[in-house]
DNA sequence: TTCTTATTCTAGCGCTTGCTCGGTTTTAGA
DNA sequence: TCTAAAACCGAGCAAGCGCTAGAATAAGAA
């Protein structure tokens, strides 16, 4: 379910907006700056979006939907709890660090959303987090992870989301390396390499 | 070293600004809003600060300095690497969650700083992170923590900093409980309770 | 072609923004 | 009580903001 239409042109514009919001922040990116980057005049923007805020919402929504899809694909056919955790972690980092723009915007700029947009997106986020909830729960029951589920989940997602602050895509470490490092750190004994 | 003066009145204003920046974000908090909350007119603000941006810088700086001080106090007289890690973690969470405003602003709004302010604050941050660097290094050498130092440190600080997104001060968990949970999660076997 | 719909442009309105400046009041120490 | 510094006010400027409305153009179906 989307809030408004989803034309091809609109998606192009959303991708450009994502980059600009990521680079300079939502509030500092004016509609004129957006329009210029899109090759149109500022007035034309409001043919595609009702609001400036609606652009932000579309950016965040696109990021969340792709994250959800990749996560589902990653979990397909995996049975072992630890394998699930690793797969989910890899999926999370891979969307986070490749489709970086939209996700960073989501983490930073949700305060500028209207209550309606926020409610819509919180619903999507909860859907995504419930994937994590069940996988971590399985790991705890399988005794490969210890602690309260919600605390462990928040710590894990925090560690992952924080990577956007320091990870260098040009460096020698791949997202998968990082995922492995985190899972090994969280679990009692090293199981993967 | 501070960028400008540090009068008593100024500190009061900084605390008020921290709250407002935290609640509504830097860009959305206008100088008029700031001034009203401080009980003065917007023009008077610029007697204390050269810029709006200078207010932001002062807010972040105050948070960092208090974090640094608390961390140093926490480490005083502690010898065992694991004890150091726990102490540092507790200190970090305690500043983060009690002096919440300034820290959240630091995490979210650094993009609005001028290059000069940013450079100044990055220096302070590096000083603080080097505390973490040495403690984690000690833990790895003592074989109670495994992995690359920089990766472990970033994961740990990420998990901690993310708490501002979900931790409920009204809930039953204390910051110290959380600190314990994280350290136990990171280390191979449970050492504390 | 002709009709329809999607997209863009031009021009600008009404409002808010950060910030300035000359003058006044308040405060604190000698 | 006098004085100098610190704090504040009032009025407003120049620039930029999100957004609108009506006309022009491009594209696609009939």
Q: What is the pLDDT of residue B7?
A: 80
Query: Coil, strand or helix: which one is A87?
Result: helix
Cα–Cα distance, B145 to A41 (Å, whole number) = 56
- CA-to-CA dists, residue B84 to A89, B88, B161, B174, angstroms: 29, 6, 19, 19
Q: What is the pLDDT of residue A98?
A: 84
Q: What is the pLDDT of residue A2?
A: 38
Of B152, B157, B178, the CB nearest to A162: B157
On whether the CB atoms of residues A144 and A82 are closer than 8 A, the answer is yes
Answer whether A151 sits within 8 Å of B24, measured CB to CB.
Answer: no
Using H for helix, E for strand and C for coil, what is the string for chain B?
CCCCCCCHHHHHHHHHHHHHHHHHCCCCCCHHHHHHHHCCCHHHHHHHCCCHHHHHHHHHHHHHHHHHHHHHHHHCCCCCHHHHHHHHHHHHHHHHHHCHHHHHHHHHHHHHCCHHHHHHHHHHHHHHHHHHHHHHHHHHHCCCCCCCHHHHHHHHHHHHHHHHHHCCCCCCCCHHHHHHHHHHHHCCCCCCC
Query: The tokens of B23 are what?
Result: 């609640």
Sketch out chain B's domains with CATH numbers: 52-186 (1.10.357.10)
Determine contact: A118 vs chain B, CB below 8 A.
Answer: no
Q: Which DSSP helix (H) or strand (E) runs through A127?
A: helix A115-141
Give the nucleotide at minimum CA-to-C1' distance from A54.
D18
Cα–Cα distance, A177 to A123 (Å, whole number) = 31
Cα–Cα distance, A30 to A159 (Å, whole number) = 32
Kindly report the average pLDDT of chain A as a whole number: 93
On whether the CB atoms of residues A187 and A145 are closer than 8 A, the answer is yes
Q: How many angstroms is C1' of D26 away from CA of A9?
A: 14
Helices A149-166, A100-109: axis angle to 10 degrees equals 120
Query: The tokens of A12 are what?
Result: 């192009």
A43 touches strand D (CB under 7 A): yes
Handedness of CA A174, A179, A181, A184 (dihedral sign): negative
pLDDT digits over B125-184, tens only? 999 999 999 999 999 999 999 999 999 999 999 999 999 999 999 999 999 999 999 999
pLDDT digits over A162-187, tens only? 999 999 999 999 999 999 999 999 98
On whether the CB atoms of residues A175 and A93 are closer than 8 A, the answer is yes
Q: What is the pLDDT of residue B114?
A: 96
Residues of B in contact with A182 (CB under 8 A): 155
Determine contact: B8 vs chain A, CB below 8 A.
Answer: no
Tell how far CA A96 is from the center of its chain. Answer: 5
Q: What is the pLDDT of residue B1?
A: 36
Cα–Cα distance, A134 to A16 (Å, whole number) = 35
Determine contact: A159 vs chain B, CB below 8 A.
Answer: yes
Query: The tokens of A124 are what?
Result: 């999507």
Q: How confident is the model at residue B4 (pLDDT cuts 50, 70, 90)?
A: low
Cα–Cα distance, A187 to A189 (Å, whole number) = 6
Q: How confident is the model at residue A1 (pLDDT cuts 50, 70, 90)?
A: very low
pLDDT digits over B24-78, tens only? 999 999 999 999 999 999 999 999 999 999 999 999 999 999 999 999 999 999 9
Q: Is the pLDDT of residue A75 over 60?
A: yes
| N-to-C CA span, chain A | 40
């Amino acid at each position: 379910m989307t809030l408004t239409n989803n034309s091809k042109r609109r998606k192009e514009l959303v991708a450009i907006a994502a980059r600009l919001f990521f680079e300079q922040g939502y509030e500092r990116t004016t509609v004129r700056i957006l329009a210029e980057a899109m090759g149109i005049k500022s007035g034309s923007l409001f043919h595609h979006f009702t609001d400036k805020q609606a652009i932000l919402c579309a950016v965040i929504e696109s990021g969340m939907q792709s994250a959800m899809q990749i996560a589902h694909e990653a979990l397909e056919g995996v049975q072992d709890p630890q394998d699930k955790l690793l797969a989910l972690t890899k999926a999370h980092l891979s969307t986070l660090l490749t489709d970086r723009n939209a996700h960073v915007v989501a983490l930073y700029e949700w305060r500028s959303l209207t209550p309606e947009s926020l409610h819509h997106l919180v619903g999507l986020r909860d859907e995504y987090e419930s994937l994590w909830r069940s996988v971590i729960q399985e790991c705890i029951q399988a005794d490969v992870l210890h602690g309260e589920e919600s605390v462990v989940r928040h710590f894990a997602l925090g560690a992952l989301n924080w990577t956007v602050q320091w990870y260098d895509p040009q460096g020698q470490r791949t997202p998968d390396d990082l995922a492995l490092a985190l899972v090994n750190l969280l679990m009692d004994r090293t199981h993967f390499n």
